[in-house]
């Protein structure tokens, strides 16, 4: 089957699935894939580097598992480092990615954000091969530049423009992947409910930072996160609500004294003195040092508000 046709069909199918299900896709959906000319084309397989049977030479996708065995990470140049399959430079999977690099073939990158759930980025291109480090360099590009069936650029100016564009697009995708990973892992830890009010409607839940991500300690890790509904996320960010070091919700005194409608009374004031829902695993619970620092900021805000 024609390589370009399979890849184009795969990208179209992925776009349809994201439109239907959002940008976090289940592994079962990806493993089922789609049918082209009566042949099933899965998008992922048991190994991270995957080539469906309908393709002759180069893989269709590469996958990073949420807690997989390979140390895939973004390098100092902003590009993804994707580890070889094992240590054999000439393993068929590694040769396949080398073929994709030489022929400028677009692939899909599936980034595991939680067990059985992935965010897809495409098209991605293998742009470097570090044999000593046993890793490929991967860049994401804009869908406009998939380039299936088009000749490769034959001058340095075009190559420089492609590299600059891909670096920019990859940086944006990196931020998106980290945000989605943070959200999925925080919601998993809190069993998909608001830590303050126990609301379970996932469409109304956010992954809130204890220390904001604009600050040096505001890392996108579960121990710096809380699963909060939209209302309590906003109230927490604006110091209407605080969280004491013993994980008890406090309402800012001026807000506690305020007279308003039922939303303020029940959804905000009613939380005062209640203990939050915590993850079952202690390693995923809020970092005490970060909670204490945030609580000090809440106390300062309370004093300033009178």
- Domains annotated on the chain, with CATH: 3-179 (2.30.280), 190-305 (no CATH)
Burial of 60: CB neighbours in 10 Å, binned 0-12, 13-18, 19+: buried
CA torsion sign for 141, 145, 150, 153 is negative
Q: Is the pLDDT of residue 289 over 60?
A: yes
Q: Is the pLDDT of residue 189 over 90?
A: yes
| List of long-range contacts for 246-249, beta carbons under 8 Å, 24+ apart | 246/275, 247/275, 247/276, 247/278, 247/286, 247/291, 248/273, 248/274, 248/275, 248/276, 249/196, 249/273, 249/274, 249/275, 249/276
Nearest to 25 by CA among 9, 53, 39, 44: 44
What is the Cβ-side half-sphere exposure of residue 112, based on CA atoms within 13 angstroms? 18
Cα 188 to Cα 279: distance, rounded to the nearest angstrom: 9
Q: What is the pLDDT of residues 230-280, one digit of tens each?
A: 999 999 999 999 999 999 999 999 999 999 899 999 999 999 999 999 999
**Confidence (pLDDT) at 81:** 92
pLDDT band at 141 (very low <50, low <70, confident <90, very high): confident
Cα 176 to Cα 160: distance, rounded to the nearest angstrom: 25
Cα 262 to Cα 83: distance, rounded to the nearest angstrom: 55
Most confident segment among 21-30, 136-145, 154-163: 21-30
Number of CB atoms found within 10 A of residue 253's CB? 13
Averaged pLDDT, 52-71: 84
How would you classify the pairing of strands 225-229 and 205-209? antiparallel
**Residue pair 279/285 in contact by the 8 Å Cβ criterion:** yes
**Confidence (pLDDT) at 59:** 97
At a CB cut-off of 8 Å and minimum separation 6, what does 49 contact? 59, 62, 63, 85, 93, 94, 96, 97
Cα 243 to Cα 296: distance, rounded to the nearest angstrom: 10
Q: Is the pLDDT of residue 105 over 70?
A: yes
Torsion of Cα atoms, 210 then 213 then 218 then 223, to 10° = 50
DSSP letter for 59, please: -
**Confidence (pLDDT) at 218:** 86
Number of CB atoms found within 10 A of residue 31's CB? 13
Q: Is the pLDDT of residue 158 over 70?
A: no
pLDDT band at 213 (very low <50, low <70, confident <90, very high): confident
Ramachandran category for residue 239: left, alpha or beta (phi over 0 → left; psi -120 to 50 → alpha):
left
């Amino acid at each position: 089957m024609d390589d370009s046709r399979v890849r184009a069909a795969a990208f179209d199918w992925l776009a349809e699935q994201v439109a239907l299900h959002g940008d976090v896709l289940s592994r079962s959906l990806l493993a089922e894939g789609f049918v082209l000319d009566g042949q099933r084309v899965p998008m992922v397989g048991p190994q991270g580097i995957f080539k469906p049977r309908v393709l002759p030479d180069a893989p269709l996708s590469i996958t990073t598992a949420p807690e997989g065995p390979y140390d895939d990470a973004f390098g100092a140049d902003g590009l993804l480092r994707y580890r070889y399959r094992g240590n054999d430079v000439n393993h068929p999977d590694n040769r396949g990615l080398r073929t994709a690099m030489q022929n400028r073939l677009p692939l899909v990158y599936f980034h595991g954000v939680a067990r059985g759930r992935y965010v897809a980025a495409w098209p991605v291109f293998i742009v470097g091969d570090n044999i000593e480090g046993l890793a490929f360099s991967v860049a994401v590009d804009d869908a406009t530049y998939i380039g299936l069936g088009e000749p490769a650029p034959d001058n340095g100016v075009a190559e420089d423009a492609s590299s600059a564009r891909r670096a920019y697009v990859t940086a944006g995708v990196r931020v998106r992947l980290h945000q989605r990973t943070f959200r999925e892992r925080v919601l998993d830890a809190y069993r998909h409910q608001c830590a303050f009010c126990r609301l379970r409607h996932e469409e109304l839940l956010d992954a809130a930072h204890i220390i904001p991500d604009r600050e040096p300690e505001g890392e996108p890790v579960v121990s710096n996160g809380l699963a909060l509904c939209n209302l309590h996320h906003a109230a927490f960010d604006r110091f209407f609500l605080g969280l004491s070091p013993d994980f008890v919700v406090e309402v800012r005194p001026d807000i506690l004294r305020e007279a308003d409608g039922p939303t303020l009374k029940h959804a905000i004031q009613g939380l005062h003195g209640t203990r939050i829902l915590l993850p079952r695993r202690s390693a995923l619970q809020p970092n005490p040092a970060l909670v204490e620092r945030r609580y000090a900021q809440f106390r300062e805000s309370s004093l300033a508000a009178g």
